[in-house]
Structure 1
Amino acid sequence: MVRFRDKVNPKMPKEIGFMREAGLVVAKIHQALREAAKPGMTTGELDQVCRDVIKAEGAKSNFLNYHGFPATVCISVNDEIVHGIPGSRKLEAGDLVKFDCGAYVNRENKQWHGDAAFSMIIGGEEAGSQTARELNEVTQTALYEVIRELAKGAQTLNAVGDTVEMVVAERAIDYGWEAGIVEEYVGHGIGNAMHEAPDVYNYSVRGKLMKLRPGQVFAIEPMLTAGDPDNSTDDDGWTVRTKDGSLACQWEHTVAIMPGGVWVLTALDGGAEILAPAGLKPVTLPGVVTD
């Protein structure tokens, strides 16, 4: 979400284990939100769902009061890209909704964070427009293909932006329209704080970015639009939306670079379903909770 350019501090195996604990809390929040998000539910009621899971899991919200943000989850609807504030708005069938949230656990006198986002069409895929369905698919695919490339042994962080651009270009041929890549909001390192170094660009950049090594952990979060990616921030100081009113979409996972692969810390299965099409499996840690 914010930009950092310093070098990333790799995590020790035990520390990645702590982050997996936080990631599982986030995964359980997502599971609860998917089940609860139905036509007629208010975004404020869904924020309470998030709060309840965090409390039940004995964790803490890393979104609540972050720079003054007043909720535990960003809920952004249709043309809203990111940072939507939950409130009295009732969701309607066909809405394309982005849920972005996180949690942290305290271990050995330090915070260990997880951060992830998903998008869904309220009322089921059939309730949404063709554009909403295609935008959701291309954004999710972009994230998943990035994770697969990292698992295959990508050498530098350039793999993220290059892969997102490749997926967008391929889907443009399939769909007859090209998704816009939001450049102002990027992924980030994560660990003892929700946002750490480095920036994780969702688009190709000139020059060689940092070399990838085991122990690095990134929150990867492509944000795409069905029209022009130019955006503006509402008067509430948070909600970011497309200037042309086009739909927007976001998908995100916290991913640890492991020896010989990756571990998707914010997926209940550690990324098994994401990696399976590439013939890969998550690389986990012996003795560390995996689900």
Structure 2
Amino acid sequence: MISDESKQHRTWNNIKINNDTYMVSVIQKDNTIKVLLTNLIEIWMDTLTKEIILDRCRKLNPLLNIEDLNYYDVVLNILNNMSRNIINVSVEHIKLRAEVDGGIMKFDVNLTKGTSQDFWEIITKPLCISSMEISRQHKFLLDLVKKKDEEISEYKAEGAELIRKNIETKRFKEEQLKITILDPNIIDCINIFQSAMNFYNVFNLYEYNKISEESTSSNSSNNDDTQETVQNRFVQNDGKNICNSEDTTVQRITESVHSEKKKQNKDTTSKKVTRNKIGTANISYRPPKKLKKGLYEPIL
């Protein structure tokens, strides 16, 4: 089955601690809330169950009747609007306060430093997966643009002429993408990190939905094989399985590219068959150039 970590979306928001920029994320699953804090070097976290939340609320709010409040949802709302409710903050403690029905609700987040495995699982792994997918898409798009240029050149050689000159493009050169990468500051790194994590969330949701559909359409007799396939579609938590998972990911990417190429070849064949029947507002055909006196190059 798919790990719960794979289905979770993490949104990271900026937070200032001693004039340094950190990022905080709040994840809610079932009856547990996780608060994550990072500076992209280390990570701190606090895991809050309903029991921990209730006990902490009672100690911090002795004058409030916590049982009469929907305390779990109230605390979740306070955490999700953390920047608005902070009264004191450090990497170990975040003190919060918000108005609720019946008075003021106080709540503390007590953070402990995570391990290197925690940092890998929460920060490094999603970035690696995002980079792998962005790299695959980059290569695919470059190949596609180059083939489109070749296709356009072939049309022009056969007599096609673009009517709307304002949409005409120059032939693509890969050197256009080469730039000098400047040394980024912490704000640049944070912005890129947040962008990469948003990409990971969207890509991960797409992968999860696709796998769920495949699992639903499978016969019950193939459940074991389906679960094994599902698990291999994601990078494994165990370091020993990372290489196997990467091989599976590369294989999936290769199959995707081959499938796309096959589709392109099919489309190209279809275009050749119907070429004489094409009529659009943007392309017209000129008579082909003469090869010899009295002869024209045939149009296929």
TM-score > 0.5 by shorter chain: no
Higher Cα radius of gyration: 2
| TM-score (structure 2 length as normaliser) | 0.20
| Structure having greater relative contact order (Cα 8 Å, sep ≥ 6) | 1
Could you tell me the TM-score, scaled by structure 1's length? 0.20
